[in-house]
Chains A and B, each alone.
Chain A
Amino acid sequence: MTHTVPSNPAQHPLFRKIEQSRRKRREVRDTTITLAHGSGGRAMRDLIDDVFVNRFANSSLMPLEDQARFDLTQLAAQGDRLAFTTDSYVVDPIVFPGSDIGALAVNGTVNDLAVGGATPLYITCSMILEEGLPIATLRQVVESMALAAEAAGVQIVTGDTKVVQRGSADKLFINTAGIGVIRSGVNPSAQQIQPGDVILTNGTIGDHGTAILMARGELALDTPIESDCQPLNGLVDAILNVCPQVRSMRDATRGGLATVLSEFAQASSVGIRLQESEIPVREEVVGMCELLGLDPLYLANEGKLVVVVPPADAEVVLAAMQSHPAGVDSRIIGEAIDSPAGVVLLKTAFGAERVVDMLVGDQLPRIC
């Protein structure tokens, strides 16, 4: 039997079959991340297609160019300035009660944009993966990112994947950057707080920091505390709708409420007086802090913001916050004062006042 060899090998049926197969999107068959997934070759392409692109699918991402492209006219219609931010997430453990590193990475960037008065629109996703990471864990984190993006109304439009040798990273690190548009007339800034301004927060503080401490399993304690990880852009919208002239907003993440307020006091050269009895803290968080000698004012939050508004707007802002699901436990917790400038004071339940200083390094548990 003789074969007919086509004059052009590309016309050979086998060649075409191979090419069809080569162009087909494939699923990742490995169960763990290997260095090949960061090589730039086929394994990496499959990982990106299967794990990221499928789940984040949107019109800006799908062309898979080296950059996402935006229509300036559409952006300009939503406001008059862009806000741009980036943050990296290196939390341990990567899954913890109430959330995981994926939702954290999306909500963190959404919140960094929102507290600048911006409507968050687009987010990037850059992953550093440790060799040996189970692909199932990565899928779980990506699923969580996709759900968080949907909940916050943002799109994940471009990204990057790197794989490092086992031991060079802790499972996975995520960097996200985000772009949002700031509506006209809104310009919250830590520098414009004035004496008399009122300070509000949207609920119990220290939940995230406690959840992470508990999840590390070093304490042999069973405390049913979940992270407060949530997007705040909806709540910020509710605030801006009634008070576009809001003086300042910040999400109280690492360093907690105390650090944000210290930054406010120093940036605006005002004093800040907090009412200890008005600062909401869960009993479980208080108990854990008692045991370890920690202060809830410095514990991290991932769904809490601090808002400073002119005194005349305080009540209407409080009502707007309390009517939003992310702010039902909102409270007025203090006020700006003219002296001592740059210092945060806490009025204790006994009527005494003490300084609330900025944290030095990490909070370290006391011996006794």
Chain B
Amino acid sequence: MKYVDEYRNPQSAQILLHEIEQITDRLMQHRTKPIKLMEVCGGHTHSIFKYGLENLLPSGIELVHGPGCPVCIMPKGRLDEAIALAQNPNVIFTTFGDAMRVPGSKLSLLQAKAEGADIRMVYSPLDAIPIARANPDREVVFFAIGFETTAPSTALTVLQAESEGLKNFSLFCNHVLVVPALEALLSNPDLELEGFVGPGHVSMVIGSDPYQVISERYRKPVVVAGFEPIDILQSIWMLLQQLESGRCEVENQYRRLVMPSGNVTALDAMRRVFEVREVFEWRGLGDITQSGLRMRSTYADYDAEVKFAIAKQTVADHKACQCGEILKGVLKPWQCKVFGTACTPENPIGACMVSSEGACAAYYKYGRLSLTMPQFKQSKQSKQSDSPTAAQAKEKAMVSRSGNALE
């Protein structure tokens, strides 16, 4: 775990938490409501709960778990199409593991598999290529989901299939784009967000520059963050510093992997294979313009939507499900009427309860404690017992100077 342990160091966390408390105390002197920060990425939500970070932050900070889980935002209609494709006896349907349990209208892919559909879990889209090679008489479809994080690898898979002259491979493309989703959120008058912990993996591909629109047009600070606990704490601290000094900028905490202009090779592959859709439906958020990718007509031979003549269908979410409000950060998961009772990870009604990156599943699996005991926040306690030593103060100075002492 070399190069990772540094980002999980409890002493570094204590220093950052102390600093975060100090700034929060100062900010809270002039306000009555907590500071709401949204972590956009489901990977961040997962880390926050896995390491229990939410319970360590001062009560003046409220984390809002955003729409950045690719599984959670997959609309029911598209899932139904995927399941119908998988049930075609001529199709071998390949998918990432965590898409398997998401409920469609009637079934999940896992249930369809149990009923006889040939569905195979892969760890990379490229794994679908040897399956296609080995089954020339059947069509191998890859269920391409995810943000810009996974889109380059599916684009490369199409290019690989093309270079091999494979005729029996296609993508069911459901890739989505992060910035249009953030803009859609920011256009919501209910939203009270004051800053964004920017998605690290997406930013490795697109860079940090595309978030300028958030800071310039919507006047919200963005800090692109890595996924380790220290990354997340440091990005929160950087956001608070911006709020305190009245700045509104895009900053990059994840400089060890994210370049301002992104990854040129990955972006090239995406541009060759995909183009932006006029509109894409997001589960819970509805239609968002320019927010999804489809395959270019030059790659129609590899486009399952063309090969199988898939038409857009909209299927309403369950009436009781409030995933949409949760994805927007308007409601906390436990405020949903069915959270933890009718809707559980065993029997999810909404998609947010399926993946461990979903806000509801994360609360249910890791964070029930903070629901049942609101007083559980430990910040005051840690403030008394863990004030920084001289050595820690030195390290803190280093953090302040470089912006990211761990790089």
**Chain A interfacial positions (CB closer than 8 Å to B):** 218-219, 283, 286-287, 290, 292-293, 295, 340, 343, 345-346, 348-355, 357, 360-361, 364-368
Contact = CB atoms under 8 A, between A and B. Distances in A.
A353 B369 contact: yes
Q: How large is the interface on B (under 10, 10 to 19, 20 to 34, 35 or more residues)?
A: 35 or more
Interface in B147-182: 147, 149-150
Interface string B37-70: 0000111001001111111100000000000001
Interface in B2-31: 4, 8, 10, 13-14
Contacts of B123: 218-219, 292, 365
Contacts of B100: 364
A367 B70 contact: yes
B205 to A, nearest CB: 11
A367 B101 contact: no
The 5 A-B pairs at the shortest CB distance, nearest first, are namely A352-B52, A364-B97, A360-B345, A365-B97, A354-B366
A169 to B, nearest CB: 18
The winner among A290, A353, A354, A367 for most chain B CB atoms within 10 A is A367
Contact of A352 (B56, B110, B150, B372): B56
B10 to A, nearest CB: 5
Contacts of B14: 350
B234 interface: no
B97 A357 contact: no
B60 to A, nearest CB: 17
A290 B10 contact: no
A348 B51 contact: yes
Contacts of A367: 70-71, 96, 98-99, 145-146, 149-150
17 contacts: A345-B369, A348-B51, A350-B51, A350-B52, A350-B229, A351-B56, A352-B51, A354-B50, A354-B52, A354-B369, A357-B368, A360-B101, A365-B123, A366-B356, A367-B145, A368-B150, A368-B201
Contacts of A290: 4
A349 B55 contact: no
B367 A368 contact: no
Given A292-B123, A365-B97, A360 B10 contact: no
A357 B364 contact: yes
Select the residue from B97, B99, B382 with max chain A CB neighbours within 10 A: B97
B367 A354 contact: yes
Given A364-B97, A367-B71, A351 B369 contact: no
A21 B33 CA distance: 94
Contacts of A366: 43, 46, 97-98, 355-357
A355 B146 contact: no
A interface secondary structure, majority: loop
Given A350-B13, A350-B56, A366-B357, A355 B367 contact: yes
Contacts of B96: 365, 367
A286 B4 CA distance: 11
A295 B366 CA distance: 12
Given A350-B52, A351-B382, A354-B366, A365 B101 contact: no
A345 B366 CA distance: 9
Contact of A286 (B1, B46, B372): B1
Contacts of B122: 218
Given A218-B127, A361-B101, A352 B378 contact: yes
B98 A352 contact: no
Interface string B349-374: 00000011100000011111100100
Nearest to A218: B123
Contacts of A365: 96-98, 121, 123
Contacts of A292: 123
Contacts of B13: 350
A283 B1 contact: yes
Interface in B68-116: 70-71, 96-101, 110
Contact of A353 (B52, B110, B147, B386): B52
Contacts of B372: 340
B224 to A, nearest CB: 15
Nearest to A349: B10
Contact of B368 (A295, A343, A348): A343
Of the candidates A343, A355, A361, the one having the most CB atoms from chain B within 10 angstroms of its own CB is A355
Given A360-B345, A365-B96, 17 more contacts: A343-B369, A352-B51, A352-B55, A353-B376, A354-B50, A354-B51, A357-B365, A357-B368, A360-B101, A361-B110, A366-B98, A366-B355, A367-B96, A367-B150, A368-B41, A368-B43, A368-B201
Nearest to B200: A368
Contacts of B8: 349
Contacts of B378: 351-352
Contact of A354 (B1, B49, B99, B150): B49
Interface in B219-240: 229
A44 B55 CA distance: 64
B5 to A, nearest CB: 10
Nearest to B149: A368
A351 B356 contact: no
Interface string B274-302: 00000000000000000000000000000
